[in-house]
Amino acid sequence: MNLTLKIWRQKGPEVKGKMVEYKVNDISEHMSFLEMMDVLNEQLIEVGDEPVAFDHDCREGICGMCSLYINGQAHGPDTKITVCQLHMRTFSDGDTVYIEPFRAKAFPVIKDLVVDRTSFDRIQQAGGFISVNTSGNTQDANATLISKHAADEAMDAAACIGCGACVATCKNSSAMLFVGAKVSQYALLPQGQVEAADRVLNMVHQMDLEGFGNCTNTGACEIECPKGITLVNIARMNREFLKASLKG
């Protein structure tokens, strides 16, 4: 298929960017979206132009690096997938495809389609840990009984890959779904109770410092999340935050 690509190009965070049009031909429907981007970059390099900068790593839907805004949707026009899992059969011959970076104050553009998402790292570092007794008295993991329901919910929350689709698709650029998932994966397990109060207070505080917007319960974040993280995690984080605030 032959496609017209309109891609956001920006040389750096302090430089004004713009949409630039490119043509790509003979694209196989079996290619992934990132493979199509590779073809474009090979064409640009051959004619001496600078290739389009975009993030990618595992290309298996695990790392969340390939975060692009495609035709007005985070990760493109499909559900429960990342960009590397998006295939060109989703598009039709002659289509015009708009490709942009995730846009949020807390995700400044580094170059072209690459944004700085280290704000997520700082939120996790603010409280995403548990105390571990390394004095020789550590218990075997199976010694602490956990209900299957709690374990399943914790694993569902832990499935969050921190790609930022929730932020990109939220009209307020809220990170509540991401933070809710990271709080939930510990709050549901007994090992996470030691720092429970400090964790949620510190992580929410860091989220606010990073400049993310407020949640208004629109639900767009859950719809666009490639791992199906649910709004239940936001509700759980709010309960944990309220409990911690009352204790403090």
21 three-state secondary structure: strand
Range of the domain at 107: 3-111
| Same structural domain, 29 and 136 | no
- Which of 83, 111, 139 is the endpoint of a domain? 111
| Same structural domain, 46 and 17 | yes
Residues 116-132 have pLDDT tens digits of: 999 999 999 999 877 77
How many percent of the chain have pLDDT more than 70? 97
Between vectors from CA 185 to CA 184 and to CA 187, what angle results, nearest 5°? 55
E-only strand ranges, the chain: 3-9, 18-24, 69-70, 73-74, 96-100, 109-111, 114-115
Which of 169, 161, 160 is CA-nearest to residue 68? 169
Total domain count for the chain? 2
| Same structural domain, 103 and 151 | no
| Same structural domain, 25 and 77 | yes
| Same structural domain, 163 and 61 | no
Query: Can you say how many angstroms the Cα of residue 120 is from the centroid of all Cα atoms in its chain?
Result: 9
Q: How many helices and strands, by DSSP H and E, does the chain display?
A: 8, 7
DSSP strand pairing (96-100 vs 69-70): antiparallel
| Same structural domain, 12 and 103 | yes
Between vectors from CA 75 to CA 73 and to CA 81, what angle results, nearest 5°? 125
Region 180-184: mean pLDDT is 96
CA distance 111 to 104: 14
pLDDT of res. 221: 97
- Which of 111, 133, 158 is the endpoint of a domain? 111
With a cut of 70, say whether residue 243 has pLDDT above it.
yes
| Same structural domain, 31 and 105 | yes
pLDDT of res. 70: 98
DSSP strand pairing (69-70 vs 73-74): antiparallel
The domain spanning residue 57 has which CATH number? 3.10.20.30
With a cut of 90, say whether residue 90 has pLDDT above it.
yes
40 three-state secondary structure: helix
| Same structural domain, 76 and 135 | no
Write the Ramachandran bin of 8: left for phi over 0, alpha for psi from -120 to 50, otherwise beta.
beta
Which of 158, 174, 163, 160 is CA-nearest to residue 219? 174
CA distance 155 to 185: 7
| Same structural domain, 159 and 61 | no
| Same structural domain, 75 and 132 | no
Average pLDDT of the residues of the chain: 94
Q: What's the whole-model pTM score? A: 0.93
With a cut of 70, say whether residue 248 has pLDDT above it.
no
CA distance 46 to 44: 5
Residues 128-177 have pLDDT tens digits of: 877 776 667 777 777 888 999 999 999 999 999 999 999 999 999 999 99
